[in-house]
Structure 1
Amino acid sequence: MINTLTSLRIFFALMVFGAHCYVIDSSFNAHFFKEGFVGVSFFFVLSGFIIAYNYQEKLLKKTTTRRTFWVARLARIYPLHLLTLLIAACIGGYVQYSGTADWIKHFVASTFLLQPFFPSADYFFSFNSPSWSLGCEQLFYFCFPLVIPFLNNKRHLVIILFICLLFMLAGMYLTGEEQIKAYWYVNPITRLPDFFVGVLLYQFYRSLRNKKISYSTSTLLETGAIALFLLFFLCAADIPKVYRYSCYYWLPVSLIILIFSLQKGGISRLLSNRFLIIGGEISYSFYLIHLFIILTYTKMTALYQWQLPWTVSVPIIFCITIILSLLSYYYFEKPANKWVKRIFTKKTIINQPHGIINKNTTN
């Protein structure tokens, strides 16, 4: 496990949290908060890096199977997704539906994480809105074992990403304002290059991880990566949003991930704090739960005609979300992950010279 990258997850989850707080108070309509959607881009690129880090050699050397990989990914995302989907179905989702048949269609699409493939907000933001990104992750996970034999080369990956970038820039330029979110923000196919950027980063990481880099140089690089990201982030208001949804942030996000993956500087030492690592571990729960808490609060304030100042309400909502995320991670996510893996593990019979041995394996 790379502790620094785990810790960084909670910071980018907080950016997404801040981006959704505009429903609480208009102060969060400021660019600094609304631009928090970059957290999703970070997670997509990081996903490519971590998946390659954990599985690339194993899949190429056939020490693990595609089925093992897919089962592990299914066990990671589906239990909490299905739980939050059922909660959303009970308390009312993000979008209103025109009837029972319409509700069922949206529910089925959300259940199987197909909602981001439909270019309509009433689909991709239905029920638990943040789960659209899981539909993208699902496509990434499906593709990875199939394409990694062809992408295990920096040069090939750079060429593929350069071609993708050219097509993306042309497509983004030609897309109307009302369609950019459907085609360039939530569409799993157009977000696939983000994942491949992460896979490419892992190829660079393999070349750099054994290089001797001094503590002071590493600290300077980490500081520079953060400064560059903040520069891109604060200047983003002048860039059309369609580009900011993906490729605009490739460079700063990539440098953040690559440099901090080496874990050799002073800021990396700070990020290796146990509490920050726990924060990163619960970030998936935090991401899927936070909007429930925010929307529940806004419904209550509308129903009872009262509202706390945001300086009070937002910290309270944040603390509640953290507590629920901790409970979810330790008492639901981890047990459910093990349970799903066990369910999909089948017994095989191995013939040995001295008899037959039953052994549980995940194929």
Structure 2
Amino acid sequence: MNKSHILPLTSIRFFAAIFVLFSHLDFFKNTPFYFIYVKEGFIGVTLFFILSGFVLSYSYQEKLLSGEKNKFAFYTARIARIYPLHILTLLFTLFFLYQNESIKEILSNIFLLQALIPKASYYFSLNAPSWSISVELFFYLCFPFLITKSSKTLIKITVIILILKILLSEINISEKATHAYIYISPILRLPDFIIGILIFRLRFNKLNVNISTYQVVIVQTLSICLFLLFIYYSHMVNIKYRFDIYYIIPMSILIISLSYSNGIITKTLSNKTLVLLGESSFSLYMIHQLIIRFIIENKTFFGSNFYMLSSILAISIFGSIFIYKYYELPMKKIVVNLLKKYKSKGNLIPFII
């Protein structure tokens, strides 16, 4: 049985991507547009990771456990979702923004292995934001196995990894090591994804009740306020904890509250335009830094900071919608069909059969 999409959770992906985009506008800090730079914008990635666990559980957990879909179907859908756009942005970088990356760094990008290598020259090479889909691919590989585990087991795994992260955070390690292990490492980011699975189970097993529109509005308003409050006081917390641990609770509450279908906030976030922007958020996330880099390298053509900023936002947003509609969706169908064809010929590796 196909479940309807939870539209508000699609829409907030756009805001997560915009947060990340604004965090990469640091070159505006000393201009009249200093306010556009969002220092805490990297938390958009954490929101993506938690949302990923929640939405994949909502879409696939029942189907995989019941046998309605097998691991091959799941992996095929995930690869078709991320790989075509990844290759497109990688090729654009190689042709227009190449910075003498080595063959090893390029190969690690092609196979989305860069996040597993704790060196910035690898995980931030070529199209730097693609490090996070390297992490996502790790999550995808783990997902069919994680959903077979009890919530208690998942909580234990999460607690163990979080304790390890806290211990690492308290050790006086370099900024490079902090980035490589606490922010980038797929294994140490796994709690974000597992928490998404756990709050899905909490929402639809324990909190799957009808509540009034008035109650939904109150809960959603408070969850948004709580999230903003955490951002406001973030300067008081060490960056090592702000990468994800600090935001886990407010983000989880926000996602749960927005999963209810009634209320004015839900209706607003279910607006067709916002939903389309949310659907295009992966494209926005993947192309925005390339556009920023290209415009900076050609800033004499764009002239003033105003035109640079306007161009970055317009090209990123409208370009992402165009790519989603005319590249992502068609390529997803093509890749799914190709993978099915190769599987039927026995050419795919055994673990996805």
SS of match in other structure, 2:25: helix
SS of match in other structure, 1:264: coil
Distance in 1 between residues matched to 2:302 and 2:79, nearest whole Å: 42
Q: Is the 8 A contact 2:12 2:278 kept in 1?
A: yes
Distance in 2 between residues matched to 1:66 and 1:175, nearest whole Å: 41
Matched with 2:50 is 45
Deviation at 1:154, TM superposition (A): 3.0
Could you tell me which of 156, 161, 165 is aligned with 1:164? 161
Matched with 2:296 is 298
- Deviates further, 322-331 or 312-321: 312-321
Matched with 1:69 is 74
Distance in 1 between residues matched to 2:309 and 2:21, nearest whole Å: 10
SS of match in other structure, 1:36: helix
CA 1:127/1:156 → structure 2, altered by over 3 Å: closer, same or farther?
same
Q: Larger radius of gyration, structure 1 or 2?
A: 1
Matched with 2:105 is 106
Matched with 2:23 is 19
Could you tell me which of 213, 225, 245 is aligned with 1:215? 213
- Map residues 115-134 of structure 1 onto 2, 5 A cutoff: 115-134=114-133
SS of match in other structure, 2:129: helix
- Map residues 159-308 of structure 1 onto 2, 5 A cutoff: 159-178=156-175, 179-208=177-206, 210-301=208-299, 304=300, 307-308=303-304
SS of match in other structure, 2:118: coil
AA aligned opposite 2:47 = F
CA 1:119/1:30 → structure 2, altered by over 3 Å: closer, same or farther?
farther
The alignment's TM-score, normalised by the length of structure 2, stands at 0.91
Distance in 2 between residues matched to 1:31 and 1:307, nearest whole Å: 18
CA 1:270/1:31 → structure 2, altered by over 3 Å: closer, same or farther?
closer
Q: Is the 8 A contact 1:23 1:298 kept in 2?
A: no
CA 1:328/1:305 → structure 2, altered by over 3 Å: closer, same or farther?
closer
Matched with 1:318 is 313
Deviation at 1:159, TM superposition (A): 3.1
Q: Is the 8 A contact 2:8 2:258 kept in 1?
A: yes
Matched with 1:154 is 151
Could you tell me which of 273, 290, 309 is aligned with 2:305? 309
Cα-to-partner distance string for 1:165-202 (whole Å, 9 max, x where unaligned): 22221122115142111111111111111100100011
- Deviates further, 72-81 or 54-63: 54-63
Deviation at 1:266, TM superposition (A): 1.7
Distance in 2 between residues matched to 1:77 and 1:154, nearest whole Å: 28
Deviation at 1:208, TM superposition (A): 4.9
Deviation at 1:26, TM superposition (A): 3.3
Cα-to-partner distance string for 1:336-357 (whole Å, 9 max, x where unaligned): 00000001114869xxxxxxxx
Deviation at 1:261, TM superposition (A): 1.0
1:60 matched to 2:65? yes
Distance in 1 between residues matched to 2:282 and 2:252, nearest whole Å: 20
Matched with 2:348 is none
CA 1:259/1:208 → structure 2, altered by over 3 Å: closer, same or farther?
farther
Distance in 2 between residues matched to 1:161 and 1:201, nearest whole Å: 13
Q: Is the 8 A contact 1:82 1:111 kept in 2?
A: yes
Q: Is the 8 A contact 1:24 1:298 kept in 2?
A: no
Cα-to-partner distance string for 1:305-331 (whole Å, 9 max, x where unaligned): 874134x43233211112211111111
Flag structure 1 segments of 5+ consecutive residues without an equivalent: 350-361
- Deviates further, 275-284 or 23-32: 23-32
Distance in 1 between residues matched to 2:231 and 2:268, nearest whole Å: 22
Identity level (%): 38
The count of corresponding residues between Structure 1 and Structure 2 is 340
SS of match in other structure, 1:126: coil
Q: Is the 8 A contact 1:209 1:262 kept in 2?
A: no
Could you tell me which of 312, 325, 343 is aligned with 2:338? 343
Distance in 1 between residues matched to 2:30 and 2:114, nearest whole Å: 29
AA aligned opposite 1:335 = P
SS of match in other structure, 2:68: coil
Cα-to-partner distance string for 1:100-132 (whole Å, 9 max, x where unaligned): xx6211110000111111111111110001000
Q: Is the 8 A contact 1:24 1:294 kept in 2?
A: no
